[in-house]
Amino acid sequence: MNQNRSLLVIYTGGTIGMVQDSETGSLMPFNFENLYEYIPVLKNFNYTIDFFVFDSLIDSSNVNPEFWIKLAGVIETKYEDYDGFVVLHGTDTMSFSASMLSFMLENLNKPVIFTGSQLPLGVIRTDGRDNFINAVEIAAAYQNDTPIVPEVCIFFDNKLFRGNRTTKFNSENFKAFLSGNYPLLAEVGVKIKYHKEYIQKPNFKKLKVYKNIDRDVALLKLYPGISKQLVQAVLHTEGIKALVLETFGSGNAPTDVWFIEAIEQAIQNGIIVFVVTQCKGGSVEIGKYETSRDLGRIGVISGYDITTEAAITKIMFLLGNINSKENIRELLQTSLRGEITV
């Protein structure tokens, strides 16, 4: 059933593609032409695997909108030539990139599987080998000539996640990603077990790639003792059009008059305030506690169970592509790619 599928592996950087220099001991990117030396078993797949290597390989801390546009552009140009895509990417900002790509690629009807590793491929105990092999198999998995997972996903530590539902939550454990509000799309054991009820269905429409990204969004994480000066400084950042407000628990915030007035003023000045929770699971529920009632009254928008990563990238995407603020407000509360449960 998976015979002769063709895949494009896009290597952008990150730990997975590193080897240890035998002389200096430091990590450096390895030559992909030697990949079969590191993962000889790849040859046993009956797939055609081509590689697209970014000319400057980056640590994913350097990811920015230009990078996303380039990555989406590669998938757009090669879309018709391949059955699936594997993106090798650093883990640090993988959840942001997977979220952003999910928004940029409308009507995606092929698998785009991000993966990476905590240990470089050139290290004996690397998790990169398994992550890579499984990502390849999932990107090539078709049934009745239809891809099983036509979504932007992250594969890590034997688990397949919807990309825009993930957060990197551990910097050294192989279990590095979490999807606190959406079930796994697949689990790998002896077999790859797909949870089809949670996977998007293909719509067979033509892929549309959006390449406008507007970065005029700010993120403010609340903490006890946050000062008026800091809140004001963020809200008065030049050019800012939207604020993601990371609140406590189910959308709670200080009830200090100065705080509520500052947010209210910002909303009246046209800034969109999108409320998410600092918790890794659960949803914003404005009005549940007294400490969120004022926020509801002044017109913030609830992000429900969206992750901060998906919230920021969704706003950048919407600001870049939708003119009317009213439409943006509405779309923020609509599931575009399965990123939010409304």
Contact footprint for ligand ASP (CB under 6 A): 13-15, 59-61, 90-92, 116, 118
Compute the least distance from the CB of residue 94 to ligand ASP, in Å: 7
Which residue number, 116 or 147, has a Cβ lying nearer to ligand ASP?
A: 116
Compute the least distance from the CB of residue 125 to ligand ASP, in Å: 15
Which residue number, 15 or 109, has a Cβ lying nearer to ligand ASP?
A: 15
In this structure, the chain runs to a length of 342
Which residue number, 118 or 166, has a Cβ lying nearer to ligand ASP?
A: 118
Catalytic option among 12, 15, 167, 308: 15
Left (φ > 0), alpha (ψ -120 to 50) or beta: where does 88 sit? beta
Which residue number, 60 or 167, has a Cβ lying nearer to ligand ASP?
A: 60
Compute the least distance from the CB of residue 15 to ligand ASP, in Å: 3
Compute the least distance from the CB of residue 109 to ligand ASP, in Å: 29
Compute the least distance from the CB of residue 118 to ligand ASP, in Å: 6
Compute the least distance from the CB of residue 163 to ligand ASP, in Å: 15
Which residue number, 13 or 122, has a Cβ lying nearer to ligand ASP?
A: 13
Please report how many Cα atoms fall inside a 13 Å half-sphere around the Cα of residue 133, on the Cβ side: 17
Structure tokens at 290: 């007294």
Q: Which amino acid is at 3?
A: Q
Structure tokens at 106: 């409308």
Q: Say if residues 207 and 112 touch (Cβ distance below 8 Å).
A: no
- Cα(116)–Cα(63) distance, rounded to whole angstroms? 15
Short-list 213, 183, 179, CA closest to 73: 213
Active site residue 15: yes
- Cα(85)–Cα(111) distance, rounded to whole angstroms? 6
Short-list 111, 113, 110, 3, CA closest to 47: 3
Which residue number, 29 or 287, has a Cβ lying nearer to ligand ASP?
A: 29
Helix axes 290-298, 257-268, angle to 10 degrees: 20
Q: Which residues contact 53 (CB under 8 A, 6 or more apart)?
A: 10, 11, 32
- Cα(3)–Cα(5) distance, rounded to whole angstroms? 6
Active site residues: 15
